[in-house]
Amino acid sequence: MNSPLTDHLGRPLRDLRLSVTDRCNFRCSYCMPRDVYDREFEFLPSSELLSFEEIRRTVGIMAGLGVKKVRITGGEPLLRRELEKLVAMLAGIDGLEELTLTTNGSLLPRKARILREAGLSRVTVSLDSLDDDVFRRMNDAGFPVERALAGIDAALRAGFDPIKVNVVVKRGVNEAGILDLARHFRSTGVIVRFIEFMDVGCTNGWCLEDVVPATEILARIDAEFPLDPVESRYEGEVARRYRYRDGAGEIGLIASVTGPFCSTCSRLRISSDGRLFTCLFGSRSNDLRERLRRGDDDAEVAAFLTGIWTRREDRYSELRTSHTSTGQKVEMPRIGG
């Protein structure tokens, strides 16, 4: 058995985040603010996106290098036409143990079952509030919370288990609804993960004062519904897990700002235009698409990927100060979460 591929700091390559489109039907302020992504904004033409065949080939090579889990992201990935065909292509790759999707849930009512039948393992839905006014303001697309919840219900009916709900918590915006979300999803089997507002990219207006620390979120929930910590399922799991003492399920906390997990990060990212990033907060990338289209064989692509990973030494969150980076970081819609 081959030794796992590790980076400069000894971290193994295990996870791939794969963005399939830079387009989204929401305009969430922490990801895709409308004053930047307006009607004049030029999204990538389809010719610049990796084709399904190119993605399938890349994931197959990466599985041979140690990747066990692939998460499909965007933009909103379900805007990519016939995404279920890509899911079916990836689901059959030897060595791949988990194939997941992060979505805003808007298209799940008509897509959940077909995605499940195609071989998707799990779904994560972004849902930042149960208050309809707050939710509409945050998605800035007039999308009602009832339809987002309908997407989660559709995923449950399709047999996805567990379903995770991601909540980005921003001070003065939606932190008042933390308990409502915990209460709503208790005893449903849905795992809510509360995420500190992060400085991804340069357009979301991040500042440290807007971050609600994970410790504060935990204290609020624990005071109402007592919690006990749960051990991670594997090294590199990003969420700190907590179980309700009464057995009503669990929650997760993702503390990239106040509790960085760079030391165990095992994720490589491919942007929607086929560029490789070794960090969510990356400013430098490598062009995978060009190598695929110029005719490199699998061995050459594998050597290219190996070289990128073994040189990797990113520690952005551990080195973060109270100020955002002055570099031009990749934006969330291109790289996903």
In order, the DSSP letters of 171-192 are: TTTTGGGHHHHHHHHTTSSPEE
Q: Are 258 and 218 in contact (CB under 8 A)?
A: no
Distance, in Å, from the CA atom of 193 to the CA atom of 94, rounded to the nearest integer, reads 30
- Which pLDDT does position 320 carry in this prediction? 66
Say whether pLDDT at 284 is over 80. yes
- Which pLDDT does position 328 carry in this prediction? 67
Q: Which of 54, 69, 57 is nearest to 101 (CA)?
A: 69
Say whether pLDDT at 39 is over 80. yes
Q: Residues 15, 235, 232, 220: is their CA dihedral positive or negative? A: negative
Bridge partner list, 76: none
CATH of domain 15-335: 3.20.20.70
Q: Are 14 and 67 in contact (CB under 8 A)?
A: yes
Q: Which of 16, 36, 63 is nearest to 271 (CA)?
A: 16
- Which pLDDT does position 154 carry in this prediction? 98
Q: Map out the domains of the chain as residue ranges.
A: 15-335
Q: Are 172 and 133 in contact (CB under 8 A)?
A: no
Distance, in Å, from the CA atom of 214 to the CA atom of 327, rounded to the nearest integer, reads 26
Say whether pLDDT at 325 is over 90. no
- The one-letter code for the residue type at 284 is R
Distance, in Å, from the CA atom of 101 to the CA atom of 120, rounded to the nearest integer, reads 8
Residues whose CB is less than 8 angstroms from the CB of residue 172 and which lie 6 or more positions away in sequence, other chains included:
210
Say whether pLDDT at 324 is over 60. no
Distance, in Å, from the CA atom of 313 to the CA atom of 278, rounded to the nearest integer, reads 9
- Which pLDDT does position 323 carry in this prediction? 44
Q: Are 201 and 161 in contact (CB under 8 A)?
A: no
Question: What 8-state DSSP symbol labels residue 5?
Answer: P
**Distance from the first to the final alpha carbon of the chain:** 32
pLDDT tens digit string along 51-98? 999 999 999 999 999 999 999 999 999 999 999 999 999 999 999 999
- Which pLDDT does position 312 carry in this prediction? 95
